[in-house]
Structure 1
Amino acid sequence: MLFVELALIRWLGSNVVHLSYFSNFVLLGSFLGIGAGFLISRKSWSVWPWSLPLLTLLTIGVIRYPMSIQREGGDIIYFTALELAGPPAWLALPLIFCLVAVILAGPAELVGRCFAKLPALKAYRWDLIGSLAGIVAFSALSFLHAPSIIWGLLAAVLYIGLSDKKRRIAMIAWTVPLLVILFNESVDENISWSPYYKIQTLESDPPIDGVLKIRANGVPHQVMAPNSLRRDMGYSIYFTPYERRAPGELGDVLIIGAGSGSDVAVALQNGARSVDAVDIDPRIMEIGVENNIDRPYQDPRVTRHINDGRAFLQGTEKKYDFILFALPDSLTLVNGASQIRLESFLFTEEALRSVRSRLNEGGSFAMYNYYREDWLIDRLANTAATAFGHTPCVDTFDGAQAVITVGLTPADQVCEGIWQPVSSEADMAPANDNSPFIYFKGDNFPPLYIVTLGLILLASLITVRTLGGPLSEMRPYADLFFMGAAFMLLETKNIATFALLFGTTWFVNALVFGGVLIVVLCAVEYTRKFKTPPIGWCYAAMLASLVAAFFIPEEWLLAMSFGPRLVAATLIAFVPIFIANVAFSKRFRESGDTRSAFAVNLLGTILGGCLEYASLFTGYNNLLIVVGALYLLAFVLIPKVRPQVAAAG
């Protein structure tokens, strides 16, 4: 079930332009579907036969007819195609949300029927083991850059294997068109997969020798072109950082966002003694190795690093004469962390202070991009000024393109003019590690989120009322609902923390998800085999661990070497999760109807998923206050008279 959920999010994000920025709405749809599936499992009718047909039709639809979600406004910036076609986000997102919910309800219904046949903790244990298997499969396929046909085959095998014998012919029939279209996509020589994107390479129109366009999830991402043509093509921003440096030897260079190698070629052309080229996406760098006509990655002066930019800065002891952030604009979010993008922690005030500490005497730093909005240019320039202690050089070009360059001292930069901000102080306030929302203007909550989250909560309420009966009948499980919401927020906070401490790579993300499942499984096994303290003591210990996590500054952890940092971060993150799941396991074991109890808990995660968007204003650390309040509310709502445990079998 978890593998189908993750594969579906991946397929949709790679074919619906902008959906990668809204993947959490798809995730919330899957939670609603799984919760609904458990409630449906108590009834005589079934949605299971509709799951695979809808999955097939949805996958074929988005691959055959890629959709671009339109949106307006500059409150949150999305790096995407400048001209879009397709339905507005307020229409497309609820539609996809509902389809995902129905698709995931099918497998969840089967799991719910199994829950009714097993003791509560035994059923929950096998559910967790299955989820771990899904994470392992997802991670392995991501590591292997597996094409979409492999994902489709695994999903098809799962659906067919779980079907009754009398339905297997129909299931096989529905997998055929699914596999055909995925096969056609997989054999396209211009399409390949990285752990983050579907990568498509295209020749320029008309074809120009050495020019190759790279799309990621359907969005124009990079243009690989020879240095000899780059100025003529209007890409002056590639050369401006070198013109703003004080005269002298270029020396050792660090390029974060090296991509297909164009920035590396420019650095070599400007006389770099050595270049450390860092990029988070291995496939895009491979395309540069294979196809860049300037052959920058074959130069012995260049060392390639596949890593998160902030993590590399934190982990290296080397100092540089020039550091460059070269168009590091991701097109996707870190899974499970509402508005953290792959590069979010790269542009905080703390990150630029880290850059400053990595510069040699006389060194300089630059970043450039097509920033879309003037307030974002001013925010980044102000962040550089705050971190370095003096005003940077700011060169702007047509369409809000900008180059921001700052020397270690004012003498290490050569500006053509003085930066004149046009934004208010509030709009250009630097982002920080607690609130790394560099692309969020911050003056109001985005209306799109208000509408979409409201519709999600309404759909969840209708689902519970329709499938679960009167809300009064759900009252015995109200505490489990708020436990689900609290756990979702706690998981989000931990994902954000690990992204800061160890990078936003897919591998770190997979380790966090896998680690959470392992800790939950350990809590279940502990509850099954050992006598546990009263549930009140569990809540007290959990709140104490949350208080400790709240007051331990993350800058303390960042100052540690990798080993101690890993141990400390693991204890801070996973001790509250372990205690919370001991409490949940005790309560779940005593529930009278495990299917209803688990469904209500899953539906609570939807509330938690909506509340996590509060971090846009509160920051991530303050989410721990909300987590503590939700757990306190759950404790208060524990029924005084427990329902009798349902007999297994």
Structure 2
Amino acid sequence: MLRHWLLLCACLGASLAFAGSFFVLSHTQQNQGLQTAASGAALLLLVLVTARWRTVIDAMLSDAPGAAAPRLTDRPRLTLFIASFVALFLELALIRYTRSQLRVFSFFKNVPLIAVYLGLGIGCAIGGGRPRHVIAFLLWFVPLAIFLAGGAFVFAGALGGFAAAASSEQVLGDIVVRDPSEAVAFAGQVGMGVFCLITLLTLASLFVPIGRLLGDAFERLPRLTAYSVNIAGSLIGSAAFLILGYLWTPPWLWVLIGLVPLL
């Protein structure tokens, strides 16, 4: 799994660095280009650091003897509360942040919502949550956050064009495709369908490890206790994000608060 993560992050980091450099050198959208290039460079640096500690991280991701002790799963109430808090908090953060970085999600906003619940449901059904699933979630969340922060604008225009061509309504104010042909409209519909499907599967897969922690903790507790802890963690996660939104806090703080409880 770590090898795939390293490969994906290296490709994404190099792509962001190249795209950002292109925008800077072409003197178009220089500020966003600098942010994209910096995000790509940061991701490449993270890849190098992770590769340096690959043996240690591989041990943490394995079930072999000597791997990380199951600290959280020995305390199911704490596990359930943290997983519930993180799931609801990061779900709201993703819904809010994706629609600001990729404007098509202002109109397809149910896609992240359905994806997160699908991943949590699959994870709960599988169960058997272990600390390695926490590590896996943290690892895979990093490239997603970096892509949304630094690279989303590179694809936003193309996605807006697909959305405008696919819809009979003017869904994006600054992107208009007037009287598209049937072929163009069909291509736009297929393109948006594929994009939404990829987004759905990606986010669902990302949240499966958190769902596994939830499922394992539920099995270790009486039902009434488990549901009470689950609801409490979910409500506190929702309230925490509401307060952060009211205070106009930056997205990096959302990610930090959402991930720190898992450490």
Q: Per the shorter chain, which TM-score range?
A: 0.5 to 0.7
Equivalences for residues 109-508 of structure 1 within 5 A: 109-160=212-263
**Gaps (5+ residues) in structure 1?**
161-649
Tell me the CA shift for residue 156 of structure 1. 2.3
Post-superposition CA distance 1:109-133 (Å, at most 9, x none)? 1121111110112101110011110
Q: Pick from 8, 14, 17: which aligns with 2:103?
A: 17
Matched, 1:59 2:179: no
> Which has the higher Rg, Structure 1 or Structure 2?
1
**What is the DSSP-based 3-state SS (H/G/I as helix, E as strand, rest coil) of the residue aligned with 2:220?**
coil
Query: Aligned partners of 2:169 and 2:135: how far apart in 1?
Result: 40
Tell me the CA shift for residue 47 of structure 1. 4.5
Query: Aligned partners of 1:111 and 1:126: how far apart in 2?
Result: 11
The aligned counterpart of 2:204 is: 101
Matched, 1:34 2:127: no
2:174 maps to a residue whose letter is: A
Question: Contact (CA 8 Å) 2:129, 2:216: kept in 1 or not?
Answer: no
1:157 maps to a residue whose letter is: V
TM-score by length of 2: 0.55
Query: Aligned partners of 1:107 and 1:153: how far apart in 2?
Result: 17
Tell me the CA shift for residue 46 of structure 1. 6.6
Distance 1:122 1:76, change over 3 A: farther
Question: Contact (CA 8 Å) 1:55, 1:103: kept in 2 or not?
Answer: yes
Distance 1:158 1:29, change over 3 A: same
Question: Contact (CA 8 Å) 1:48, 1:106: kept in 2 or not?
Answer: yes
2:147 maps to a residue whose letter is: G
Query: Aligned partners of 1:122 and 1:21: how far apart in 2?
Result: 38
Tell me the CA shift for residue 83 of structure 1. 6.4
2:175 maps to a residue whose letter is: L
Query: Aligned partners of 1:45 and 1:129: how far apart in 2?
Result: 22
Tell me the CA shift for residue 33 of structure 1. 0.5
Question: Contact (CA 8 Å) 2:90, 2:255: kept in 1 or not?
Answer: no
Distance 1:22 1:83, change over 3 A: same
Post-superposition CA distance 1:395-417 (Å, at most 9, x none)? xxxxxxxxxxxxxxxxxxxxxxx
Distance 1:8 1:41, change over 3 A: same
Query: Aligned partners of 2:137 and 2:131: how far apart in 1?
Result: 14
Equivalences for residues 589-604 of structure 1 within 5 A: none
Question: Contact (CA 8 Å) 1:48, 1:109: kept in 2 or not?
Answer: no
Distance 1:60 1:92, change over 3 A: same
Matched, 1:75 2:178: no
Post-superposition CA distance 1:53-83 (Å, at most 9, x none)? 2211111112222232222244343134316
The aligned counterpart of 1:491 is: none
Q: Write 1 or 2 for the structure with the bigger share of strand.
A: 1
Matched, 1:88 2:191: yes
Query: Aligned partners of 1:19 and 1:48: how far apart in 2?
Result: 27
Query: Aligned partners of 2:141 and 2:130: how far apart in 1?
Result: 23
1:4 maps to a residue whose letter is: L
Post-superposition CA distance 1:530-550 (Å, at most 9, x none)? xxxxxxxxxxxxxxxxxxxxx
Query: Aligned partners of 1:31 and 1:150: how far apart in 2?
Result: 23
Question: Contact (CA 8 Å) 2:89, 2:237: kept in 1 or not?
Answer: yes
Question: Contact (CA 8 Å) 1:48, 1:105: kept in 2 or not?
Answer: no
Question: Contact (CA 8 Å) 1:51, 1:104: kept in 2 or not?
Answer: yes
Query: Aligned partners of 1:127 and 1:43: how far apart in 2?
Result: 16
1:121 maps to a residue whose letter is: L
Question: Contact (CA 8 Å) 1:13, 1:20: kept in 2 or not?
Answer: yes
Query: Aligned partners of 1:127 and 1:139: how far apart in 2?
Result: 18
Post-superposition CA distance 1:406-437 (Å, at most 9, x none)? xxxxxxxxxxxxxxxxxxxxxxxxxxxxxxxx
**What is the DSSP-based 3-state SS (H/G/I as helix, E as strand, rest coil) of the residue aligned with 2:108?**
helix
Question: Contact (CA 8 Å) 1:18, 1:80: kept in 2 or not?
Answer: no
Query: Aligned partners of 1:89 and 1:47: how far apart in 2?
Result: 31
Query: Aligned partners of 1:22 and 1:43: how far apart in 2?
Result: 31
Query: Aligned partners of 2:237 and 2:210: how far apart in 1?
Result: 13
**Gaps (5+ residues) in structure 2?**
1-86, 178-187
The aligned counterpart of 1:298 is: none
2:228 maps to a residue whose letter is: R
Question: Contact (CA 8 Å) 1:29, 1:97: kept in 2 or not?
Answer: yes
Query: Aligned partners of 2:103 and 2:139: how far apart in 1?
Result: 23
1:79 maps to a residue whose letter is: L
Question: Contact (CA 8 Å) 1:37, 1:104: kept in 2 or not?
Answer: yes
Question: Contact (CA 8 Å) 2:128, 2:213: kept in 1 or not?
Answer: no
Query: Aligned partners of 1:90 and 1:35: how far apart in 2?
Result: 23
Question: Contact (CA 8 Å) 2:129, 2:215: kept in 1 or not?
Answer: no
Tell me the CA shift for residue 40 of structure 1. 2.0
Tell me the CA shift for residue 43 of structure 1. 7.8
Question: Contact (CA 8 Å) 1:31, 1:101: kept in 2 or not?
Answer: yes
1:94 maps to a residue whose letter is: L
The count of residues paired between Structure 1 and Structure 2 equals 159
Query: Aligned partners of 2:149 and 2:97: how far apart in 1?
Result: 8
Query: Aligned partners of 2:119 and 2:248: how far apart in 1?
Result: 28
Q: Which has the higher contact order (CA 8 A, sep 6+)?
A: 2
